[in-house]
Amino acid sequence: MSTTVSAPDLVASFPFPYAADTYRYSTNLEPAHTAVRTRTGQWGRTVLHIDSEYTHELAERRRILAADPTRHAVLPHMRVACWDTMLVLMSELATAYPESMSLTRDGEVWHWRNDLLDIAQDFVVGDESCLPCDPLDFIAAQVQDDIVLLDQRDDDLFADAGVVTFSAGWSFGFDVGMTFLEIHGPVPGLRESGVITRARDFLMRLQPNQIYRRTNWSMTIGRTLDVSVETLADRAAARAALDGLDDEAFGRVLHLRVEVQHLIRLAESGAICFLIRTYLLPLADVAGVDEWRVRMAAVLAELPEEIAGYKGISGYRDRVVSWLRSRG
């Protein structure tokens, strides 16, 4: 592969999202903990993935939460689910990165170690005085994923807790307490196709400790994780400047954005932990892998306008297609 814009590990672990030359909405759910081999490496062996952007992204999360506390919410009945989530994610981290993280127990007292962040914390489950903050906030400060907790009741799923700082085109602060179907209501054709109803029904049948995953994709101008509704005005200038960029700058500035979403049925609380990990790769690096370059161009060229419009790429997708094809 030619010289890349991104750090080598970011290219090697990038979850290229297109399995065919066309794309339509689908549930695309599969069991987690299975490595997916790509032209550059692999992804998906672990639920939680730490890369060279770890400390940078966690600092960005702290900055966003300080500026907008509504990105973190926990409804009162979700306290048990927050402890449940913290323990599950700590266990996943300790299993994936035993050289730098560990979770052990001595009676009621748990011991957590994260050497990457110089954290050594003892705690008793249920006693929030043991932690410097609430358990969901504590673990969200140590993973690169956004976290949404879904409460299952009244034959539905409700987004009743979470820490979401890197959302794409939606607002967690606005959506707190909404049902799964209400949150996905703005996506064109999703309910009519039956995809979102099937996804909800699948989630409601998840058994304790079952973990599934899926991917979703869009595009982002700049290496910007937070493209939530709250940032729309801030991003207008970047969009306006895109047309004036030469081809070299265009390929470096525009990024393929992929979310790897994990869904975990929590054993103690019965809630569903919905993890959203966002990966960004500039077009210049996508084009460095010929198979990716050809496939992405084909997908965007064929993509129905209603999907392109919802993903916010209608204004520049023709140029992306031409740019990718010219790199062959």
**d(Cα 166, Cα 145) in Å, to the nearest integer?**
8
The residue annotated as part of the active site, out of 214, 235, 252, 319, is 214
Two tokens, residue 204 = 């409601």
Cβ atoms 327, 290 nearer than 8 A? no
Chain center to CA of 151: 19
214 catalytic per annotation: yes
Long-range CB pairs of 171-179 (<8 Å, 24+ gap) are 171/228, 171/229, 171/230, 172/70, 172/71, 172/73, 172/146, 172/148, 172/228, 173/68, 173/70, 173/71, 173/73, 173/230, 174/229, 176/73, 176/75, 177/75
Two tokens, residue 77 = 């009945």
In angstroms and rounded to an integer, the radius of gyration of the C-alpha atoms of the chain is 20
Non-local CB neighbours of 270 within 8 Å, separated by 6+ positions? 152, 208
Which sequence positions are flagged as catalytic?
Answer: 214
